[in-house]
Amino acid sequence: MNVSMPMAAEPSSLQIAESLLAFWADSGVDAVLLDEPIDRIEAGKFVPPPPPPGRAGQPSATVSPIRPALPGQPDVAGAVAEAQALAAQADSLERLAELIAAFEGCPLRHEGAATRAVFARGRPDAPLMVIGEGPGADEARQGAPFVGRAGQLLDKMLAAAGLADRVFITNTVFWRPPGNRTPSPAEQMICAPFVERAIALVKPSMLLLVGGASAKSMLKREEGILSLRGRWFEWRSADGALELPAMPTLHPAFLLRQPAAKKRAWTDLLTLAERLDRPHRPD
């Protein structure tokens, strides 16, 4: 006797479109059509200034390739220099939080209604630093990173991997991007000196880079998160004084939309936890 099996309901066109857009966003595609055309060839033309002369026998300081501001754009170079000067003043995480809150140079501070800085939470001497992309609406309200649905999932995963009390959590930017959009490279570049100072103060053993925007900004790479995740990289500070192993992984917001990807993120955490607990072998 033939028994016909009920067929699964086909996803709607809207569900398919939402899933595809989410996949593109987490793979690093941050724009399809912009409000104004940008001549990216012209914008990419930049001749870095000559580095300042070093003392005899010593290499000159490395100069970051910061493009000059185009008409209508913020002065990124000036904002980065200001952030560097302020970050250097911080001798504690508390002082760093105060300096970030007072910083006016990031355009995100002046966009939308969320002007409250969201810095960090977690153990101040954690062996693992988790760096996400930027705060969302829940984070802006509560003043702490990863406290919404995505943050709750992250906490559960960290706890299951034995990392719950061993992390310090922050983001690449400290103000909520309007509409929860991905922070721009310029916005991340402006906030980078504060992130680097936080790393220097916490002194973690390694970094977990959560999401494509975080991984690409911290590692200075162009691949999407699906290519970067689960691999070990070496993160270096702008001045070369700090160097740490870093692993990118999928953002928990992506996992909420794509539950089937949780297995890959869980594998990443287990790999990281194993290396974190590996006995140090003296040279």
Q: What is the per-residue pLDDT across 107-147, written as a single tens digit (0 to 9) for each?
A: 999 886 667 899 999 999 999 999 999 999 999 999 999 99
Return the bridge partners of 247, or none.
208
pTM for the full predicted model: 0.75
Percentage above 90 pLDDT, the chain:
68
What are the angstrom distances between the C-alpha of 49 and each of 64, 69, 70, 81?
A: 10, 15, 17, 15
Distance CA 265, CA 251 (A): 8
Looking at the predicted structure, is the pLDDT value of residue 163 above 70?
yes
Mean pLDDT across 140-168 = 97
Where are the domains positioned within the chain?
Answer: 74-276
The pLDDT value recorded for residue 142 is 94
Q: Which residue has the higher pLDDT, 89 or 65?
A: 89
Find out if CATH 3.40.720.10 is the number for domain 74-276. no
| Contacts of residue 200, Cβ cutoff 8 Å, sequence gap at least 6 | 237, 242
48-52, 107-111, 165-169, 241-245: least confidently modelled range:
48-52
Residue whose entry in the numeric block shows the structure tokens 């390739």: 65
Strand boundaries in 91-149, DSSP class E: 121-122, 128-132
**Tokens 């105060």 appear where?**
98
Tell me how far the alpha carbon of residue 133 is from its chain's centroid: 4
Type of residue numbered 202: V
Average pLDDT, whole number, for the chain?
A: 82
